[in-house]
Chains A and B, each alone.
Chain A
């Protein structure tokens, strides 16, 4: 449930309840006040009207009693004087409708005397009430004042003779001396009173009426002008509370207002009463409640409306409030999501919003910075690790690149030997290596070495050894001397006491003769033609780098055709299985036997066998293998190389040298026994090769040199041209010209084409550090005729 809903659900009912309670309190107070005011107003209205009505009756009473007094004090009671008194009184009191003086017959000399003066149509008329059929002394209005010795109000009545208006009569006794002599009456018309009462219509449906002293009702809308029964009769007779309440109220004479259900229009109403003392009656006014309370209802409506407006306003304002409260929260949520996606670019505003939000924003921003720092640290660490790993990989790549990978490595010897080597380090870089390279006099050097230790240090030591051996070997010293010199250098400045076991051999591919020299290395094997291997018993000497003055001794042996020289490091023989059994020499020799094929497949086979044996274990040491096989039946007759006859020349790479090269080469070629044509062809080929070096490898730039080696052999002449210029793609260059010339021929590739055609063999070895080598060979055999025919 979100904050807005929660606010709505809690605040709205609370506010509504509070405002309703406030409204109700205000309302009830107002209602009470209003009711009091209404009551007061109702009562005062009733009271003032009752008072005025009272004045009317009181006046009439006084008039009657004035007449009675006047008649009583008359010394000479004469009829005419009585009549004129009545006339004068009527004239003076317009409210009086009629008046009479009725005398007891026996009390005065006037006997039966009852003149009645009354108004009709503005005239004063006179009649006498004394007649044979109307004995006035028997009427209530005559008897009762005399019996009670005070004036009384009669019941209202309709004066049928006098225009059918409602009348009421006051009778006052006349006292002459000690005797009551008769009665004086005053009739007053209630027409004015009625119209006055009727005009007292309170509101739309309210009304007023009079309850007489005897309890009859005057001008009650439900009971006619004059009710037939008294109020107490009605109260008994009717089932409704209406008359009972009115009766109680009037009898009690109190001024309290009463609630009742109005009999006239069946609505709840409110009754007020006020006494009219002069006639012993009451004025009653009945208000319909709804009319009284209509302002209250209006008030109630308005208050409810106000409450609704307040509630509506709150409903409207709460989303705004909650949104203003939650908008920083929402921003926090969206920013958190951005952070979780790895976007740390934004921060929360710490300077605006409520204090709590500012604190939260500050904490959040601090967290963001901390995360960024952490990520940066992790990234840097990872990058360092990555760089370290990359450097190791580069080192591993460089180390592998040091190893010769050209198989077969020497084109011109492809018929004589098959050689293959591999080094598989246990880690990224290792301390093992193998090597082979061309030596002076057509020999091949072979090396297998194992540096003590593993990893980067071993790798560096290995690289150093590799360079050292190659460098010393190029100085045409015998194998034992190569190792002696290398040891001297390695042992000289070797604070870490590293050493390397190494096998070094010089192999003559034509004779199969080999000189092998060991510096503490595992004894090599020779696999015979029958497949059985024999271990070579080399003179054992210290590893290179171990001791400063160590001398070495070479073993001479001849590899027969088909035999394989197997050089290896202890990573092969000491490979272990899960039970710590080593592979060992026996398994090694057994794996070597019974397999034909070239040296590459034999190497692969050996590695597979080792891996099968060591399944489930990590390779724990570098593994190196170098296999060299002397091939059967090389078609070139083998001859001794006379090293004394080899000519090695370092020459400037310039075209002036061409004539001199031609001269020397022609001479050597003829001395070697080549025919004149073959000699000239060899000269041509060499000239083209050298021209190529000058113009292309060096691009004609001055100041460069190249090396020319001429090796006279029994069977022909070999030449090697070594340059340190730009290597080129020999195959592509040779194929640029195909010997079919026409006018559209491109003028390129003719030189190498000529050279190749002029020789028995022309091969090229591009070299990175020790120079590019072009090997030229021309056989001495007298098959020049064959060449001519072939061409």
Chain B
């Protein structure tokens, strides 16, 4: 799993590539924590290169969302692939997050 960071206005964007599973989810969690510790409140996760997302990743997303919402910020998801979108939907997480991207109109 690779993580890249970009800035776009007030949004800080994390771009992750590869699998987000029990093995790699802790790295993503670390990255989010570092951003928040550095003052980040408005976060976006670019899921376009994420091939797989398991419940371990979902737990990181939920934990991060709780933190930034507590700081009156937000975490938004961007451009998940079909299988990842499927996971978000099955798990009920798609109702919790703002999911942007090419197909965002379909889900929101």
Q: Do A and B come from one complex?
A: yes
Can you identify 12 A-B contacts, CB atoms within 8 angstroms? A658-B54, A680-B86, A681-B86, A684-B52, A684-B54, A687-B52, A694-B22, A739-B92, A740-B92, A741-B95, A743-B69, A751-B56
Residues of B within 8 A of A680 (CB): 83, 86
A655 lies within 8 A of B23 (CB): yes
Which of B21, B63, B96 contacts A741, CB < 8 Å? B96
CB-nearest residue of chain A relative to B25? A655
> Given the complex of chains A and B, what is the CA–CA distance between A753 and B58 in angstroms?
12
Is the C-beta of A791 less than 8 angstroms from some C-beta in chain B? yes
Near B by CB (< 8 A), chain A positions 677-699 give 677, 680-681, 683-684, 687-688, 691, 694-695
Is the C-beta of B59 less than 8 angstroms from some C-beta in chain A? yes
Q: How far is the CB of B19 from chain A (nearest CB, A)?
A: 6
A754 lies within 8 A of B83 (CB): no
Which of B55, B56, B58, B92 has the most CB atoms of chain A within a 10 A radius of its CB? B55
Is the C-beta of A659 less than 8 angstroms from some C-beta in chain B? yes
Interface digits, B86-106 against A, CB 8 Å rule (1 contact, 0 not)? 110111110110000000000
Given that A741-B93, A741-B96, A743-B69 are known contacts, is A754 also in contact with B87, CB under 8 Å in the complex? yes
B23 lies within 8 A of A659 (CB): yes
CB-nearest residue of chain A relative to B81? A680
Is the C-beta of A757 less than 8 angstroms from some C-beta in chain B? yes
A750 lies within 8 A of B58 (CB): yes
Which of A684, A688, A741 contacts B92, CB < 8 Å? A741
Is the C-beta of B31 less than 8 angstroms from some C-beta in chain A? no
B63 lies within 8 A of A747 (CB): yes
Is the C-beta of A2 less than 8 angstroms from some C-beta in chain B? no
B91 lies within 8 A of A753 (CB): yes
A656 lies within 8 A of B23 (CB): yes
B22 lies within 8 A of A655 (CB): yes
> Given the complex of chains A and B, what is the CA–CA distance between A509 and B83 in angstroms?
35
Q: How far is the CB of A191 from chain B (nearest CB, A)?
A: 159
> Given the complex of chains A and B, what is the CA–CA distance between A654 and B82 in angstroms?
27
Is the C-beta of B71 less than 8 angstroms from some C-beta in chain A? no
B21 lies within 8 A of A659 (CB): yes
Interface digits, B71-91 against A, CB 8 Å rule (1 contact, 0 not)? 000000000001100110111
Is the C-beta of A742 less than 8 angstroms from some C-beta in chain B? yes
Is the C-beta of A169 less than 8 angstroms from some C-beta in chain B? no
Residues of A within 8 A of B89 (CB): 791
Interface digits, B33-69 against A, CB 8 Å rule (1 contact, 0 not)? 0000000000000000000101110110011011001
Residues of B within 8 A of A659 (CB): 19, 21, 23
B19 lies within 8 A of A662 (CB): yes
> Given the complex of chains A and B, what is the CA–CA distance between A53 and B90 in angstroms?
167
B91 lies within 8 A of A658 (CB): no
Q: How far is the CB of A655 from chain B (nearest CB, A)?
A: 4
Residues of A within 8 A of B19 (CB): 658-659, 662
Q: How far is the CB of A674 from chain B (nearest CB, A)?
A: 13
Given that A741-B96, A742-B96 are known contacts, is A691 also in contact with B56, CB under 8 Å in the complex? yes
Which of A656, A751, A791 contacts B54, CB < 8 Å? A751
Residues of A within 8 A of B54 (CB): 658, 684, 687-688, 691, 751, 754
Residues of A within 8 A of B95 (CB): 741
A754 lies within 8 A of B90 (CB): yes
> Given the complex of chains A and B, what is the CA–CA distance between A680 and B89 in angstroms?
14
10 nearest A-B pairs in the assembled complex, by CB-CB distance? A655-B23, A751-B55, A750-B55, A691-B22, A739-B92, A680-B83, A747-B59, A741-B92, A655-B22, A757-B90
Q: How far is the CB of B37 from chain A (nearest CB, A)?
A: 20
> Given the complex of chains A and B, what is the CA–CA distance between A680 and B56 in angstroms?
17
Which of A695, A741, A747, A758 contacts B22, CB < 8 Å? A695
A750 lies within 8 A of B91 (CB): yes
Residues of A within 8 A of B55 (CB): 688, 691, 750-751, 753-754
B23 lies within 8 A of A754 (CB): no
Near B by CB (< 8 A), chain A positions 728-749 give 739-743, 745, 747
Given that A751-B54, A758-B90 are known contacts, is A745 also in contact with B22, CB under 8 Å in the complex? no
Which of A656, A659, A681 has the most CB atoms of chain B within a 10 A radius of its CB? A659
Q: How far is the CB of B17 from chain A (nearest CB, A)?
A: 14
Near B by CB (< 8 A), chain A positions 768-791 give 791
> Given the complex of chains A and B, what is the CA–CA distance between A132 and B19 in angstroms?
204
> Given the complex of chains A and B, what is the CA–CA distance between A386 and B58 in angstroms?
58
> Given the complex of chains A and B, what is the CA–CA distance between A694 and B22 in angstroms?
10
Residues of A within 8 A of B66 (CB): 743
Given that A681-B86, A691-B21, A694-B22 are known contacts, is A741 also in contact with B56, CB under 8 Å in the complex? no
Interface digits, A316-342 against B, CB 8 Å rule (1 contact, 0 not)? 000000000000000000000000000
A739 lies within 8 A of B23 (CB): no
> Given the complex of chains A and B, what is the CA–CA distance between A741 and B93 in angstroms?
6
Residues of B within 8 A of A758 (CB): 90
Q: Can you add 11 more A-B contacts, CB < 8 Å, to A662-B21, A677-B82, A791-B89?
A: A662-B52, A680-B86, A684-B54, A684-B83, A691-B22, A694-B22, A739-B92, A741-B91, A741-B95, A742-B96, A753-B91
CB-nearest residue of chain A relative to B22? A691
> Given the complex of chains A and B, what is the CA–CA distance between A688 and B91 in angstroms?
13
Residues of A within 8 A of B83 (CB): 677, 680, 684
Q: How far is the CB of A682 from chain B (nearest CB, A)?
A: 11
A684 lies within 8 A of B91 (CB): no
B90 lies within 8 A of A741 (CB): no
> Given the complex of chains A and B, what is the CA–CA distance between A680 and B58 in angstroms?
17
Which of A662, A695, A747, A791 contacts B90, CB < 8 Å? A791
Which of B23, B89, B92, B96 has the most CB atoms of chain A within a 10 A radius of its CB? B92
> Given the complex of chains A and B, what is the CA–CA distance between A757 and B87 in angstroms?
10
B23 lies within 8 A of A747 (CB): no
CB-nearest residue of chain A relative to B97? A741
> Given the complex of chains A and B, what is the CA–CA distance between A91 and B83 in angstroms?
191
Q: How far is the CB of A626 from chain B (nearest CB, A)?
A: 41
Residues of B within 8 A of A691 (CB): 21-22, 54-56
CB-nearest residue of chain B relative to A748? B59
Which of A658, A677, A747, A791 contacts B21, CB < 8 Å? A658
> Given the complex of chains A and B, what is the CA–CA distance between A445 and B58 in angstroms?
42
Q: How far is the CB of B1 from chain A (nearest CB, A)?
A: 10
Residues of B within 8 A of A757 (CB): 90-91
CB-nearest residue of chain B relative to A791? B90
> Given the complex of chains A and B, what is the CA–CA distance between A656 and B21 in angstroms?
10
CB-nearest residue of chain B relative to A662? B52
> Given the complex of chains A and B, what is the CA–CA distance between A751 and B21 in angstroms?
11
Residues of B within 8 A of A655 (CB): 21-23
A687 lies within 8 A of B21 (CB): yes
Q: How far is the CB of B3 from chain A (nearest CB, A)?
A: 17
Residues of B within 8 A of A688 (CB): 54-55
Q: How far is the CB of A730 from chain B (nearest CB, A)?
A: 16
Residues of B within 8 A of A683 (CB): 52
Residues of A within 8 A of B91 (CB): 739, 741, 750, 753-754, 757
Residues of A within 8 A of B86 (CB): 677, 680-681
CB-nearest residue of chain B relative to A659? B19
> Given the complex of chains A and B, what is the CA–CA distance between A747 and B67 in angstroms?
14
CB-nearest residue of chain A relative to B54? A687
Residues of B within 8 A of A753 (CB): 55, 91
Near B by CB (< 8 A), chain A positions 626-680 give 655-656, 658-659, 662, 677, 680
> Given the complex of chains A and B, what is the CA–CA distance between A592 and B89 in angstroms?
53
B23 lies within 8 A of A741 (CB): no
> Given the complex of chains A and B, what is the CA–CA distance between A754 and B83 in angstroms?
13
A658 lies within 8 A of B22 (CB): yes
Residues of A within 8 A of B23 (CB): 655-656, 658-659
CB-nearest residue of chain B relative to A679? B83
Residues of B within 8 A of A740 (CB): 92
